[in-house]
């Protein structure tokens, strides 16, 4: 739905208030479908003008167009009856679909050019569950006979390596929040040394996406179990899958 | 965007040439439809200047310029539509896969995963990714489990494990000759075996106590397995979603 009209440029242009609106709309599509602009403004404790400005910023003519879009996507999602009839699998498929629709060909092509170059690729996420996604990325690179791929888990080692990066290096970082301090630090060091930074981060406002050269954004919900999180990484797996599918296609063309 | 135009050395161009260059860059879609004279009059220059410009950037003449631009436009179009097709296909495949999942089978497996029996999760090469992912998330959800990435080790464990343990095996191809011994051994030790695989053969389904099918296609690149395991990962995520509800409610109560 919204993913059709949003891309990284638009998302980064939104300020934190507008991102809250986007967040709310994304999480409560049913509510927004029936709410008037005033009701929505009250819910978000902002003015109606802010919402209007938000609509304009995401290239819509106004609030009615937003409502129309949401209504349409609500209808289409209720039409496609998903069998594991749980709200979890509904949100799951919504996240995947929107993430895939948000993928821009330009970013994928840029990344493919980098993969085809002989630069070294460095992977960092600070371990944890995102580290498992990087395992996947690393294994896929090797399986596609892309060598010179280095994966770091320990932060101290990674920072040490980051100091030695040059413009002949690419750093790929993944953060399920986009705000994990060590990952931001890593990206910053790499950038000051001239390396290219590729970031896979959520669609919400985050610093990593602002400094990265190539961005991939995904939709998802944060979930916590006491001190640890278990946000779904499935949308990121799908991004990686899409990248390598495109990569395979680009090789078959030749 | 347009490759041969962006490769032109702009520094070497005169002011006039640069104007032509810019005009062509900005109106790429138009150029193949124009005649030489039409382009020249739009730019208020003579035909010869255009031809000389073409030669300067390494082309034989205006016709080659038209031909090159037309080709590039076509290629771009093809690329773009094929990428959108790829994404659409991915979404359709994903929806289709969700619809084929057997929920009764999954619920039974979830019950096992949420029990307090010892749980071993096995996967090697690319299948170790979903295995490791499940292992890490389950641990984050306070469900202790053990990750095995070595075939010999899992064979050994299936022979010596205590009764009631659960062995979850993830393998895309799941060749019968490799995994048969594990299933047989786990039956003897009274362990419960679960297989997640994209192997369609009936024999292997009956070998394991529980079986989940994931529709990943075998893909090879330079004779290396590059099967994305994306549906195996999707299954794992669904299992996580369902298990997390149970695991977290049981700990809070």
The 3-class secondary structure across chain B, one letter per residue, is: CCHHHHCCCHHHCCHHHHHHHHHHHHCCCCHHHCCHHHHHHHCCCCHHHHHHHHHHCCCCCHHHHHHHHHHHHHHHHHHHHHHHHHHHHHHHHHHHHHHHCCHHHHHHHHHHHCCCCCEEEEECHHHHHHHHHHHHHHHHCCCCCEEECCHHHHHHHHHHCCCCCEEEEECCCCCHHHHHHHHHHHHHCCCEEEEEECCCCHHHHHHCCEEEECCCCCCEECCEECCCCHHHHHHHHHHHHHHHHHHHHHHHC
B163 inside domain = yes
Check A100 against B91: CB less than 8 A apart: yes
pLDDT digit string, tens, across residues A210-239:
999 999 999 988 888 877 888 889 999 999
Check B86 against A245: CB less than 8 A apart: yes
Check B129 against A82: CB less than 8 A apart: no
pLDDT digit string, tens, across residues B189-211:
999 999 999 888 888 888 889 99
Mutation pick from A76, A85, A90, A92 vs chain B, by most beta carbons of B within 10 Å, is A92
Q: What is the CATH number of the domain that holds A150?
A: 3.40.50.10490
| pLDDT reported for residue A32 | 84
pLDDT digit string, tens, across residues B67-86:
888 888 887 777 667 888 88
Q: B132: which chain A residues are within 8 Å (Cβ-Cβ)?
A: 132, 135
ipTM: 0.73
Both A116 and A198 in one domain: the answer is: yes
Both A69 and A146 in one domain: the answer is: no
Both B117 and B236 in one domain: the answer is: yes
Q: What is the CATH number of the domain that holds B107?
A: 3.40.50.10490
- Spatial separation of the C-alpha atoms in residues B247 and B103, rounded to whole Å: 18
What's the mean per-residue pLDDT of chain A?
Answer: 86
Both A124 and A244 in one domain: the answer is: yes
The answer to whether the CB of B236 falls within 8 A of the CB of B252 is no
Domain of B241 in residue numbering reads as 101-252
Q: Which of B72, B91, B110 is where one domain is finished?
A: B91
Q: How confident is the model at residue A84 (pLDDT cuts 50, 70, 90)?
A: very low
Both A141 and A216 in one domain: the answer is: yes
Q: What is the CATH number of the domain that holds A61?
A: 1.10.10.10
A88 inside domain = no
Number of domains within chain A: 2
Q: Which of B32, B67, B91 is where one domain is finished?
A: B91
The proportion of chain B whose per-residue pLDDT surpasses 70, expressed as a percent, equals 97
A96 inside domain = no
Both A70 and A124 in one domain: the answer is: no
Both A128 and A240 in one domain: the answer is: yes
| pLDDT reported for residue A83 | 46
Both B82 and B110 in one domain: the answer is: no
The answer to whether the CB of A71 falls within 8 A of the CB of A33 is yes
Both B129 and B246 in one domain: the answer is: yes
Both A109 and A74 in one domain: the answer is: no
Q: What is the CATH number of the domain that holds B64?
A: 1.10.10.10
Search chain B and give the residue with CA nearest A81: B99
- For residue B226, give the nearest of A105, A128, A144 by CB distance: A144
B132 inside domain = yes
Search chain B and give the residue with CA nearest A83: B99
In terms of pLDDT, which residue wins out, B247 or A79? B247
Query: Is pLDDT of A1 > 70?
Result: no
The distance of B103 to chain A (nearest Cα, Å) reads: 6
Both A193 and A155 in one domain: the answer is: yes
Query: Is pLDDT of A81 > 50?
Result: no
Check B133 against A242: CB less than 8 A apart: no
A117 inside domain = yes
Both B51 and B169 in one domain: the answer is: no
pLDDT digit string, tens, across residues B141-160:
989 999 999 999 999 999 99
Query: Is pLDDT of B236 > 90?
Result: yes
B96 inside domain = no
A94 inside domain = no
Domain of A238 in residue numbering reads as 105-253
- For residue B230, give the nearest of A225, A230, A237 by CB distance: A237
Number of domains within chain B: 2
Both B62 and B125 in one domain: the answer is: no
| pLDDT reported for residue B1 | 44
Q: Which of B91, B122, B142 is where one domain is finished?
A: B91
pLDDT digit string, tens, across residues A152-208:
999 899 999 999 999 999 999 999 888 889 999 999 999 999 999 999 999 888 889
Both A131 and A238 in one domain: the answer is: yes
B172 inside domain = yes
Both A75 and A143 in one domain: the answer is: no
| pLDDT reported for residue A223 | 82
pLDDT digit string, tens, across residues A112-154:
999 999 999 999 988 788 999 999 999 999 999 998 999 999 9
Query: Is pLDDT of A78 > 60?
Result: no
Q: How confident is the model at residue B26 (pLDDT cuts 50, 70, 90)?
A: confident
Both B111 and B151 in one domain: the answer is: yes
| pLDDT reported for residue A4 | 65
């Amino acid at each position: 739905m919204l993913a059709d009209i949003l891309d990284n440029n638009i998302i980064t242009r939104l300020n934190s208030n507008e991102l809250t609106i986007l967040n709310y709309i994304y999480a409560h599509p049913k509510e927004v479908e029936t709410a008037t602009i005033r009701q929505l403004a009250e819910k978000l404790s902002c003015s109606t003008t802010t919402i209007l400005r938000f609509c304009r910023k995401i290239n819509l003519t106004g609030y009615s167009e937003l409502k129309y879009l949401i209504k349409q996507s609500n209808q289409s999602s209720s039409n496609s009856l998903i069998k594991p009839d749980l709200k979890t699998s509904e949100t799951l498929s919504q996240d995947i679909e929107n993430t895939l629709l948000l993928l821009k060909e330009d970013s994928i092509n840029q990344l493919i050019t980098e993969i085809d170059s002989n630069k070294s690729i460095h992977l960092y996420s600070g371990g944890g569950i995102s580290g498992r996604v990087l395992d996947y990325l690393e294994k896929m690179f090797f399986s596609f006979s892309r060598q010179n791929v280095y994966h770091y888990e320990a932060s101290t080692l990674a920072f040490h390596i980051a100091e030695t990066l040059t413009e002949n290096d690419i750093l790929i970082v993944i953060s399920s929040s986009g705000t994990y301090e060590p990952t931001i630090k890593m990206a910053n060091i790499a950038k000051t040394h001239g390396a290219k930074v590729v970031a896979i981060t959520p669609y919400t406002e985050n610093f990593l996406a602002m400094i990265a050269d190539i961005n991939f954004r995904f939709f998802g919900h944060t979930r916590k179990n006491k001190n640890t999180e278990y946000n779904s990484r499935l949308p990121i797996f799908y991004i990686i899958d899409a990248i390598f599918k495109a990569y395979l296609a680009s090789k078959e063309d030749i | 965007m347009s490759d041969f135009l962006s490769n032109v050395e702009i520094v070497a161009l005169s002011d006039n040439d640069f104007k032509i260059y810019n005009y062509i860059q900005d109106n790429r879609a138009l150029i193949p439809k124009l005649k030489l004279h039409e382009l020249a009059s739009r730019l208020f220059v003579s035909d010869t200047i255009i031809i000389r410009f073409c030669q300067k950037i390494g082309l034989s003449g205006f016709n080659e310029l038209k031909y090159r631009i037309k080709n590039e436009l076509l290629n771009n179009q093809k690329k773009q539509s094929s990428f959108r097709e790829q994404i659409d296909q991915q979404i359709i495949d994903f929806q289709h896969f969700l619809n084929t999942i057997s929920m009764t089978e999954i619920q039974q497996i979830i019950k096992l995963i949420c029990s307090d029996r010892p749980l071993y999760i096995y996967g090697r090469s690319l299948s170790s990714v979903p295995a490791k992912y499940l292992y890490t998330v389950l641990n984050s959800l306070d469900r202790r489990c053990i990750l095995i990435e070595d075939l010999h080790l899992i064979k050994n464990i299936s022979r010596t494990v205590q009764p009631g343990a659960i062995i979850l095996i993830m393998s895309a191809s799941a060749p019968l000759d490799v995994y048969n011994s594990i299933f047989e051994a786990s039956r003897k030790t009274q362990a419960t075996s679960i297989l997640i695989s994209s192997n369609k053969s009936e024999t292997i389904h009956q070998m394991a106590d529980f079986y989940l099918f994931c529709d990943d296609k075998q893909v090879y690149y330079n004779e290396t397995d590059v099967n994305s395991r994306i549906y195996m990962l999707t299954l794992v995520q669904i299992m996580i979603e369902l298990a997390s509800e149970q695991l977290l409610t049981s700990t809070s109560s």
